[in-house]
């Protein structure tokens, strides 16, 4: 298995992996998002390849916090069904962590939603600790159901 930084030659495979992770998006939008990432020095994607087939993806971004400190954020993490549970996800996280360290980033954040039930255990196994949970509310103001 090879893990390499995604390049423009990988755009199709990259979009397939992104679509598998975020299926509610349009493929073209995801493709465009990858193109933007390629032009952005503070973002990166790593793709895992097995026998020239793409089997996993991790994306990360350098962000600036309210305290002006830079930190790393995991934007997406995905391994195809058939390759899960064999350490590919862990190796992708290691590759991204090394990239952050190379950029002098020493703190990494990530988040998840219930749509990804495997994610909490995988994050814990990768050394993350849970620090917060949020509840998002919505209220429509243009219907009769409001009091
Ligand atoms: C999360 C994900 C990327 C992990 O990839 P992976 O290749 O399976 O990860 P690894 O094999 O390196 O396993 C990492 C850890 O995850 C946990 N894990 C993996 N598969 C699991 C399963 N089926 N049940 C419970 N825990 C599991 C284990 O703790 C494992 O650590 P261990 O091997 O030391 O026990 C993969 O499961 C995935 O793509 N899931 C769907 C998308 C997703 O949830 N992405 C994260 C969104 S925030």
Residue 105 lies in a domain: yes
CATH number at residue 62: 3.40.630.30
pLDDT, average across residues 85-90: 98
* 145: pLDDT strictly greater than 80: no
Each residue's pLDDT tens digit, 22-66: 999 999 999 999 999 999 999 999 999 999 999 999 999 999 999
CA distance 140 to 145: 9
Tell me, what's the pLDDT at 88? 98
Give the binding-site residues of ligand 1, using a 6 Å CB cut-off: 21, 77-79, 84-90, 112, 116, 118-119, 121-122, 125
Q: Largest alpha-carbon pair distance within the chain?
A: 60
Per DSSP, which regions of the chain are E strands? 2-5, 43-50, 53-64, 70-79, 108-109
Q: Which domain holds residue 56?
A: 2-125
Mean pLDDT computed over every residue of the chain: 96
* 114: pLDDT strictly greater than 80: yes
Percent of the chain surpassing pLDDT 90:
96
Tell me, what's the pLDDT at 24? 97
Residue 88 lies in a domain: yes
Each residue's pLDDT tens digit, 93-113: 999 999 999 999 999 999 999
pLDDT band at 143 (very low <50, low <70, confident <90, very high): confident
Tell me, what's the pLDDT at 146? 57
Residue 133 lies in a domain: no
**How far is ligand 1, taken at its centre, from the CA of residue 92, in Å?**
11
Residue 95 lies in a domain: yes
Residue 142 lies in a domain: no
Residue 145 lies in a domain: no
Tell me, what's the pLDDT at 142? 87
Residue 131 lies in a domain: no
Residues sharing a CB contact under 8 Å with residue 130, sequence separation 6 or more, in sequence order: 120, 123, 124
CA distance 78 to 98: 18
* 21: pLDDT strictly greater than 70: yes
**How far is ligand 1, taken at its centre, from the CA of residue 89, in Å?**
6
Token pair 């309210």 is found at 66
Q: How many domains does the chain have?
A: 1
Residue 144 lies in a domain: no
Tell me, what's the pLDDT at 67? 92
Q: The pTM is what?
A: 0.94
Asked if residue 20 lies in contact with residue 51, where contact means CB atoms within 8 angstroms, the answer is no
Per-residue HEC secondary structure of 68-107 comes to: CCEEEEEEEEEECHHHCCCCHHHHHHHHHHHHHHHCCCCC
* 147: pLDDT strictly greater than 60: no
CA distance 94 to 1: 14
Residues sharing a CB contact under 8 Å with residue 9, sequence separation 6 or more, in sequence order: none
């Amino acid at each position: 298995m090879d893990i390499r930084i995604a390049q423009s030659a990988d755009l199709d495979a990259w979009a397939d992996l992104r679509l598998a992770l975020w299926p509610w998006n349009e493929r073209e939008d995801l493709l465009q998002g990858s193109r933007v990432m390629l032009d952005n020095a503070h973002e990166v994607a790593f793709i895992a390849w097995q026998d020239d087939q793409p089997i996993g993806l991790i994306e990360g971004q350098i962000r600036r916090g309210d305290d002006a400190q830079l930190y790393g954020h995991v934007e997406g993490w995905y391994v195809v069904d058939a390759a899960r549970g064999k350490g590919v996800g862990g190796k992708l996280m290691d590759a991204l962590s090394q990239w952050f360290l190379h950029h002098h980033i020493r703190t990494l954040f990530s988040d998840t939603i219930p749509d990804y039930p495997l994610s909490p255990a995988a994050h814990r196994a990768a050394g993350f600790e849970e620090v917060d949970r949020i509840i998002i509310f919505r209220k429509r103001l243009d219907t009769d159901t409001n009091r």
